[in-house]
Amino acid sequence: MSLIVKAALYLWFRPARALMTFFPNNKQTLLSNRLNKHQEIKASVSAILIHPSILLLLILMDETVKPLRVPPQMSVYADKHNIFHLVQSMLSSLVIDQPEDPISYLISLLRRSSVDIPRVLLLGPPAVGKHTVAKKLSAELRAVHVSMHSLLEGQSELSVQARQYILKEQELPAELLVRLVQQRLNEIDCFNRGWVLEGIPQTRLQALSLQQAGVIPEHVVMFEAPDDVLLERSQGKLVDPLTGDVYHRTFIWPVDDTVAQRLEDGRSPSETQRLAELQRYRCEATGLSSAYQHVLKIINADQPHADIYQQVLAFVQTRRRSITPRILLLGPPGSGKSHQARLLSEKYKMVDVCCGQLLRSVAADGSALGEEIQSYLDDGRQVPDSLVLQVLEERLSRLDCSCRGWILHGFPCDLQQAKSQQESQQPNRVFFLELTDDVCLERITLRATDPVSGERFHAMTRPAPTSEVQNRLKTRPEDSTDIVTHKLSQYRIHTAALQSVYPDAYHIDADQDPHSVFEALESRLTAY
């Protein structure tokens, strides 16, 4: 069976509820409700995905029958081709749009490359620069620029109703706004090219209503700037009557003199009105940001326009990383690999795989492989790479590692091991914990264990509480200066070669408190 077919089987034949975990929280409720409600769509999805000849495979893959192992090539292939995002986008589009012919809809979705089209919200207070960025961004992405102004200019019945509220200076009802936005985004140009929605929604209620209606952005940018800066900007606004482009006497002046000559003063509300608008926005900002917290980036708008735009463009052009991390922690003895792996595992529910502990566990299970490994451990010999790789591949292929991700430490230790691992279980995040030999020696050789209580102490950072405890402390033979120095020497010999295998690895300064190291790891692990 080809690798592509295997990958498809793995991705498509997860239970429906497990698949829901692929989606951000704001999509899960909507998708779950609609999957439950629309049985016809569920049946159509099954018709697309399930072939009768595959049913036997599904039985064989049943975890209650035997432990399910997922070939590592599937995860690597899925990461390389962004299949997780593809499946998420297709399924969410299907259950949100609810087409009469789901099969034709999915085919057209792929043919039109509509899976990865931009769906962007630009939010922020008045005069922060949303319109200028939205117009430039939509032009560069070839997406449709949608604003309140363009919605009101439409000729539909909903646009006519909305204009009546504006003429009477009344607030647009949330239900009408949602229907108006939904109608516009469902048009063929938005479906094919994507959209950049400017300044909508303005409240948390509107945001939740839009989500319930299926308007779910991939990226949300919220601009922030001090009130005094915003008030100053609102006073010097200029508009090009031909293009509608917005300029400013101080901050954004057109390069073309012809454009500059035809600029007209923009609408300039009174200071009282400006302050009221700002206050209204400040009251809603927290609720708005919480509604989109999983896809949100806040950008400081009190900087040059070119810098602001580049930050926005970089954000909307990034794709989310795989939701199943495969992490490799490398570093010298004493750098804190085991401790950081435990912290990451506890917070992100990944499987903590310590190579040494795993080998000892297999050696004690009574299997033929375990007995072979035990013979090496008893003699104090190094377990051959072939056996280590066999144990690791079996463990990392289990369902918990495939679904939750894993964090491996204690392997590989040299170039050949790293290359061999790349052929079986390829990590998608690699971290080197950097620490000098002096600090490593200090951390390891000065630690000892109380044989009575089992507590571990350190001569400098956590000394024994009493002389009685101090006198009975025992130091492990492998923590002696000679052995640690030899291990450090071996690590330094192979460091350059390991770094050549993982050129995109992150290097973390481990000579700081464990919490700071964890924060550094976490920031790169969760980076967009």
Average pLDDT over the chain, rounded to whole? 81
Q: What is the DSSP string of 424-466?
A: HS--SEEEEEE--HHHHHHHHHTEEE-TTT--EEETTTB--SS
Q: How much is the pTM?
A: 0.55
Dihedrals φ, ψ of 71, to 5°?
Answer: -55, 135
pLDDT of 73 reads: 67
Question: Of the segments 238-247, 257-266, 500-509, 518-527, which one has the largest average pLDDT value?
Answer: 500-509
* 167 in the same domain as 103: no
Q: 367-376, long-range: CB within 8 Å, 24+ apart, which pairs?
A: none
Q: Which domain holds residue 496?
A: 326-525
pLDDT in tens, 174-222: 899 999 999 999 898 998 889 999 999 999 999 999 988 888 898 999 9
pLDDT in tens, 105-134: 788 777 765 557 899 999 999 888 898 899
Q: Which helix (H) or strand (E) holds 239?
A: strand 237-239
Indicate the SS3 state at residue 119.
strand
pLDDT higher than threshold 70 for residue 19:
no
* 497 in the same domain as 365: yes
Indicate the SS3 state at residue 123.
strand
Domain end position, chosen among 298, 316, 334: 316
Q: What is the mean pLDDT of residues 362-367?
A: 91
Per the structure, how many domains does the chain have?
3
* 366 in the same domain as 509: yes
pLDDT of 127 reads: 85
Estimate the share of the chain in helix, then strand, then coil, as percent rounded to the nearest 5.
55, 10, 30
Q: Is there a domain that residue 37 lies in?
A: yes
* 171 in the same domain as 79: no
Domain end position, chosen among 295, 316, 337: 316
* 381 in the same domain as 276: no
Euclidean distance between CA atoms 217 and 190, whole angstroms: 13
* 256 in the same domain as 140: yes
* 290 in the same domain as 402: no
pLDDT higher than threshold 80 for residue 398:
yes
* 206 in the same domain as 103: no
Q: What are the tokens at 56?
A: 């036997």
* 252 in the same domain as 123: yes
Least confident of 278-287, 301-310, 318-327: 318-327
Q: Which residues, at least 6 apart from 354, have a Cβ–Cβ distance to it below 8 Å?
A: 338, 341, 409, 410
Q: Is there a domain that residue 294 lies in?
A: yes
* 477 in the same domain as 362: yes
* 76 in the same domain as 165: no
CATH value at residue 505 = 3.40.50.300
* 447 in the same domain as 345: yes
Q: Is there a domain that residue 412 lies in?
A: yes
Dihedrals φ, ψ of 498, to 5°?
Answer: -65, -40
Q: What are the tokens at 370?
A: 């375990």
Domain end position, chosen among 52, 81, 111: 111
Label residue 144 by pLDDT band (50, 70, 90): very high
Q: Is there a domain that residue 321 lies in?
A: no
